[in-house]
Structure 1
Amino acid sequence: MKKLFACFALLLGFLNLAHAASDNPADLIRDTSRQALDLLRKDDGKNSAKVREQLITMVTPKFDFQRMTALAVGKDWRAASPTQKEQLAREFQTLLVNTYSATMTRFKNAQIEVKPNVQLNNDGREAVVKSEVTLPGAADKKPINVDYTLYKTPQGWKVYNVTVEGGSLVTIYRNQFGEQVRKNGIDGLVKSLQEKNGSAKSA
């Protein structure tokens, strides 16, 4: 779980630091990752908040948090009202961004190798980009396999899932969210996310 969050944190920075106008999602990840790491490495402990703010500001345009939330909630998404869907998407986005901001600066010395062969699906409208990430301090220096799932929009490629060593971010949350909905309903899930985000804000 920690590895998945670490790689997700890196991905958020990788995809949002440059406005690379590439039609190839692998090029997008490869080119912008270099610039993201350059910015992260400027963090000397005195400007951490500024670095986090710069990266977070660039996160949302490259991710479809609504689609991520729908996939994470799963079948219960269809039963949610428009207001509940809006609340869920907002709180889930906040949760992911909080996770990102809390972990990203710890991995500024990571190494990433993006594989050139992109797997295209759905008549080229969806893509899976494979990569290997080596995190600093890893005892065996064994690369972590990270797959990024994107889809093409008029505004460019957007990410809606990340899979680390076979563990899907969306699937992990779907298991958690499903249990929460069974116990307390959609409103209970919204409340649970709000409480988590509130705790992170006050920490």
Structure 2
Amino acid sequence: MKYPLTIRQWFAFLFCALFMSAMAFAQTPDQSTPDGLIKSVVSDVMSSVKSDPEIQKGNIPKIVDLVEKKIVPYTDMRRTTEMAMGPNWKKATPEQQAQLVAEFKNLLIRTYSGALSQLRDQTVQFKQLRAAPDDQEVTVKTVVLGHGDPVPLDYRLEKTSNGWKVYDMNIMGVWLVEAYRNQFSNQISQNGIDGLVKFLQDRNKQLASAKPANS
């Protein structure tokens, strides 16, 4: 099972948007709001990227460490994985669910974090947030500006007891969980849930041993 090039392109946009949009915000936003959270994380991460030459050179371990510390805490990977699994999620044991969450998170980080080393002059426009004060789920809409046509990029967030968390992203009309759902379902139908876990583990080992593109 191979991941299409188009998915790689989508998430390159995702990382560029997430990090480059910091240039548009000089103030520290309010993390108690969903759009404020994203702007705040962006500012923090962008500062780290600009101050670390190794990340700019494409040092994957450094990039992975940065993503783990500064982005992952603001995501709900359990819900992301559950949505990507669809009906198969309930068929997995608690142990399998925990494995799937961990491996899927690592897959996303290792597959797409290399886009950080490609940051140039992209910027992001944040659309006005349309949400009621008591909404528990919202979509933060943005547009990536840079080379070529503007690229719509949206974030789905949920309000949890630990604050707002991102659980899905949309690139040009396609949501992350939808992009993986059919692939996960096909893998499970062929090899079972344990087969999907093993596939993710094997893929993560391959990515971890790969040389950085800029090396």
TM-score (norm 2): 0.80
Pick aligned residue for 2:141 from 130, 140, 145:
130
Preserved CA contact (<8 Å) 1:64 1:160:
yes
Moved over 6 A (4+): none
How far apart are the structure 2 equivalents of 1:46 and 1:128?
30
Unaligned ranges ≥5, structure 2: 1-6, 22-27, 211-215
1:96 matches 2:103? no
Identity among equivalent pairs (%): 33
Pick aligned residue for 1:72 from 67, 78, 84:
84
Preserved CA contact (<8 Å) 2:81 2:101:
yes
Name the amino acid aligned to 2:92: A
Pick aligned residue for 1:143 from 144, 150, 156:
150
- Residue 28 of structure 1 and its aligned partner are, at CA, apart by 2.3
1:159 matches 2:145? no
Unaligned ranges ≥5, structure 1: none
How far apart are the structure 1 equivalents of 2:183 and 2:29?
35
- Residue 150 of structure 1 and its aligned partner are, at CA, apart by 0.2
1:22 matches 2:34? no
1:37 aligns with 46
1:192 aligns with 199
Any idea what the Cα deviations from partners look like across 1:16-57, whole Å, max 9, x if unmatched? xxx954332122223442443343233445765485233432
Q: How many residues align?
A: 196
| CA gap 1:46/1:63 in 2 versus in 1, 3 angstroms | closer
Name the amino acid aligned to 2:42: S
- Residue 175 of structure 1 and its aligned partner are, at CA, apart by 1.2
Name the amino acid aligned to 2:135: G
Any idea what the Cα deviations from partners look like across 1:128-171, whole Å, max 9, x if unmatched? 00000124xx3x3x111011000011221100000000011110
2:194 match: secondary structure: helix
Any idea what the Cα deviations from partners look like across 1:87-145, whole Å, max 9, x if unmatched? 11110011011124222221253211111223459x5000100000124xx3x3x1110
- Aligned residues: CA RMSD: 2.7
How far apart are the structure 2 equivalents of 1:46 and 1:197?
20
Preserved CA contact (<8 Å) 2:19 2:43:
no
2:213 aligns with none
Name the amino acid aligned to 1:129: V
TM-score (norm 1): 0.84
Preserved CA contact (<8 Å) 1:133 1:146:
yes
1:22 match: secondary structure: coil
| CA gap 1:165/1:64 in 2 versus in 1, 3 angstroms | same
Preserved CA contact (<8 Å) 1:14 1:37:
yes
1:78 match: secondary structure: helix
Name the amino acid aligned to 1:128: T
2:8 aligns with 2
